[in-house]
Amino acid sequence: MPSQPSMAVFQNSYYIGNTFAAILYGVVLVLYFLIIRTVLDPKHKGPRSDRFFVFFSTALLCLNTVFFATDTVFGEEMWIVHADYPGGQDAYLGDNASVWYQTLGTAASIVLNLLSDGLLIYRCWIVWDDVRVVVLPTLIYLGAFSAGLAQLYESGRPNANYFAGLAQSLGIAYTSSVIGLNVVVTALICGRIYFASRRYAHVLGIDVGVEYRSATAIIVESALLYTLTGVAYLVSFALDSQTSIFFLSVYVMMTCVAPQMIVLRVISGRAWTRDRAATLTSTGLEFTHTAKSDATVDSDSSLRSPDEEKDEERSRRHHHQLQHGASAKQLELRLETKRPDLSSTDVVIDVVEIV
């Protein structure tokens, strides 16, 4: 009878994964504390949707706590409580991989995935402001939900193993669909933020929107760390590597860390919104000149009246101020305050969105 392969690498990976999970759980607690503190701040005047985000953040924390606790308890049972189990820790792992609280932890991680991916799809819709963009991610999301339920049922059966047999095959299908969804949505969000902000800045000649296209903003808004750790887990799991348990622990914890960072950014007023999306996709300035006198001057003519020359000089000065930190909205207000000085010409600046 052939001997069973050693699970030493798996055991060590499980232990190290639990250690990393403990560190990341501390990060989750800090983020949750910052979210609650921001919402409860008397100076905070956020929209009513902040209440939803508080409940959402609390649900993420509870689900993540269940996963972290069940993994920790299983490790304690395997290494300490049943240290003298017949056949050693490898035998205990094989006989108890489908214990009820491990199934509970698996269920919590799947629901956590679904909530986090739902938030990502919602944020993708906010960034693009177009429901057609999220049709494909939504279809993948529904497929991942079905595969997750099938995997949960199979891995929870008596004597089943999450990392072997049909449960593993279903796990690969579920993880592939989830990670595929993460990659698609992350790419959509990253691309939208970067190129829209860059186009706006290029047209105005000013670094407008740098807050929304910085590396930090792109990483947080797109949940990039969540996606990268998921890819690492998928590769190791598909290759049947014993280190996959380590990447699974980190991935599930990042499933909570990434959306908590997004929620904190949203309630702090630093996240991308639909209004800001419309502003950052504006790519031009339209100058309209309206004559007040009886004589009408063609704006395309090379002949310009003294009033028009003064007007253009004021526009250049304000554009120079805009390049040193003023926003497009501030420019429009300043030109309006100069209106009493313009006896024959009105200057109206409209931001035109190029579709």
Residue 176 lies in a domain: yes
**Residue that finishes a domain, picked among 272, 294, 325:** 272
Residues 287 and 266 in one domain: no
Residues 312 and 243 in one domain: no
Give strand pairing partners of 50: none
Residues 328 and 229 in one domain: no
Q: What angle do CA 168, 169, 172 make, to 5 degrees?
A: 85
Residue 338: CB atoms within 10 A of its CB come to 13
pLDDT given at position 176 = 86
Residue 120 lies in a domain: yes
Q: What angle do CA 176, 196, 355 make, to 5 degrees?
A: 105
Taking phi over 0 as left and psi of -120 to 50 as alpha, with beta for the rest, 292 belongs to alpha
- Structural domain range at position 22: 8-272
Residues 308 and 335 in one domain: yes
Cut 0.75: pTM above it: no
pLDDT given at position 10 = 86
Residues 149 and 216 in one domain: yes
Residue 1 lies in a domain: no
Residues 187 and 95 in one domain: yes
Residues 129 and 174 in one domain: yes
pLDDT given at position 26 = 95
Q: What's the CATH code of the domain at 266? A: 1.20.1070
**Residue that finishes a domain, picked among 272, 297, 330:** 272
pLDDT given at position 295 = 39
Residues 237 and 327 in one domain: no
Residue 215 lies in a domain: yes
pLDDT given at position 203 = 59
pLDDT given at position 139 = 92
Q: What is the DSSP letter of 295?
A: S
How far is residue 234's CA from residue 251's CA, in Å, rounded to a whole number? Answer: 10
Residue 287 lies in a domain: yes
Burial 250-269 (b: 16+ CB within 10 A, else e): bbbbbbbbbbbbbbbbbbee
**Residue that finishes a domain, picked among 272, 303, 318:** 272
Residue 348 lies in a domain: yes
Amino acid at 235: V
288: helix, coil or strand? strand
pLDDT given at position 212 = 53
pLDDT given at position 152 = 79
State CA 286 to chain mean position distance. Answer: 35
Overall number of domains in the chain: 2
Q: Consecutive sets of 10 residues in the chain, 355 residues long: mean pLDDT of each?
A: 65 92 95 92 78 92 94 90 84 80 87 90 86 90 87 73 73 85 86 73 56 61 81 86 90 91 84 59 41 40 52 57 44 39 40 38
Residues 168 and 234 in one domain: yes
Whether residue 196 contacts residue 211, with contact meaning beta carbons closer than 8 Å, is answered with no
282: helix, coil or strand? strand
Residue 56 lies in a domain: yes
How far is residue 333's CA from residue 345's CA, in Å, rounded to a whole number? Answer: 16
Residues 80 and 171 in one domain: yes
Residues 68 and 183 in one domain: yes
Residues 263 and 302 in one domain: no
Residue 3 lies in a domain: no
pLDDT given at position 70 = 93
